[in-house]
Structure 1
């Protein structure tokens, strides 16, 4: 093709692109609602929206319940290694945090909590929605409907995958929330989640960011099994009732929150203990791993210690549901 023809074709192509862009901008200016609707219904946005909505929902919920999460972590760390140690309540923990500092100390680790939700919740709800859509297509081809087994499987897979990605932010959150329990001279005094991640990586190694990953994954799978599967099932069961759509959602959330708390709290407890621990002067760790932590806590503190703060944990989980 002659060079002149190539230049002419390129010019025509660029003019076409500019004209299309100009027409799109003009259409969006004249009818913004239609433009927004067209954008939201593109294949890319349809696939991305579950992830975007999940992340925004998770970050919003975290901002609201961060003080509850702070109290929950302090409850799990109280009386470590002692069966007849202190028996704190959410009220006493709340009072101690405020008395030793200021009310805003309840929001310690908020940046880590928001980052965790931006990564973890975005991924788990996005994966869950994606898995459910594929299962729905498969069920439709077979002439069947999605059952509880399929919902549970989708919830377990989505939770496990998302937990691996979100573990570093989760570890930073626990470190920031537990830092205030140390003597003043031993505190790290992290200024933000970025500061925490950078300093932990530098002093303990990058691999340490995935400390407690195994119980975190199991906890996420258990939580998703209870939360997403039971929410979906409860919502499905409530469809034929006289309850309004909003009431159905809230009721299903309450049910899902209970089962999510019941199944996941022991693993959340172990996750907190493993992520909080650091090496002693002799280089040893209090716990060697998830099973060792389960065994030592059960022996030294009793089985019921795994469910300490169940009510607080439920209040933390239910808003996320």
Structure 2
């Protein structure tokens, strides 16, 4: 009788081990994150161009603004700056940076989630928030250089002369590539705290009792979480954009985050901190939805082959 009980217990253990999902190693998640980031960023880049232009625009001497909303911005860029190709100015810098940025963001979040959860049956909301914060902090080493170069290239078309990737990097230098790092951290850490904790909770809610979740539900989880995180972090994204843009003649100069906040509030009022909100949501929602779909599919493929 005792031997039968022992055999049953051993069989249950073996069945439990068989059904445990195989978690990819850190390097595999880095590769998956890089590929996912490239696909996602390339898909939504024109919206990012419009978002940057709207956030940086200042009132003209006659009291009007260069762009009357996102659609008008799209039209003027295409009409005045060389057609549809102009919407992709800065994509090269973005793809160079998005590879390590998304790789770090997604892989570090997964690593911290696994580490913090340990042997517990489920992860707590506090642990999810901490994992997201760690991911947001680590990614900045790649995010800041990518974003400042991308922004400089996106804005350069407004002045007629369009800067190349090499010209922007040469002008900035190593130190200049990390200008605005504080603002980037203040945007990305809260963003990742909100995004990854919401994504994890929504995804868990949409996963069936057998642990299966469809691609559509992964996409939906990423879109909802991305919309909320983008809304919360937009004010600091506006500040980051303004701090990193090279000021033109007559443009205000900002000596850091607080100076930018004070001057923006004084000159444009609180509404300025919401500039580019709609395009940013339209970027982040599909970007992270697509990215997470690609990332999860690659993780599942790895698990199925091991």
TM-score w.r.t. the length of structure 1 is 0.75
2:227 aligned partner: 258
Taking the aligned partners of 2:208 and 2:107, their CA distance within structure 1 comes to 27
1:198 aligned partner: 170
| Map 1:22-101 → 2, pairs under 5 A | 46-79=25-58, 85-86=64-65, 88-100=68-80, 101=82
What value does the CA root-mean-square deviation take over the aligned residues?
Answer: 2.6
- Maintained 8 Å contact 1:226/1:261: no
Higher-Rg member (1/2) = 1
Give how far 1:279 is off: 8.2
- Maintained 8 Å contact 2:43/2:287: no
Taking the aligned partners of 1:67 and 1:279, their CA distance within structure 2 comes to 23
Counterpart of 2:240 (choices 268, 271, 274) is: 271
- Maintained 8 Å contact 2:52/2:276: no
- Maintained 8 Å contact 1:174/1:276: yes
Counterpart of 2:97 (choices 98, 116, 127) is: 116
- Maintained 8 Å contact 2:45/2:88: yes
> Residue 156 in 1 paired to residue 133 in 2?
yes
TM-score w.r.t. the length of structure 2 is 0.79
Give how far 1:280 is off: 6.8
> Residue 308 in 1 paired to residue 275 in 2?
yes
| Map 1:141-290 → 2, pairs under 5 A | 143=120, 145-182=122-159, 184=160, 187=161, 189-192=162-165, 194-201=166-173, 206-240=174-208, 245-278=214-247, 286-290=253-257
Structure 1 unpaired stretches of 5+: 1-40
- Maintained 8 Å contact 1:66/1:106: yes
Superposed CA offset, 1:251-288 (max 9, x none): 2112101111112111111111111034879xx97101
Q: 1:115 to 1:80 in 2, by over 3 A?
A: farther
Superposed CA offset, 1:264-317 (max 9, x none): 111111111111034879xx9710111111111112111121112222111100
Structure 2 unpaired stretches of 5+: 1-21, 289-306
Instruction: Indicate the structure whose relative CO is greater, using CA pairs within 8 Å and at least 6 residues apart.
Output: 2
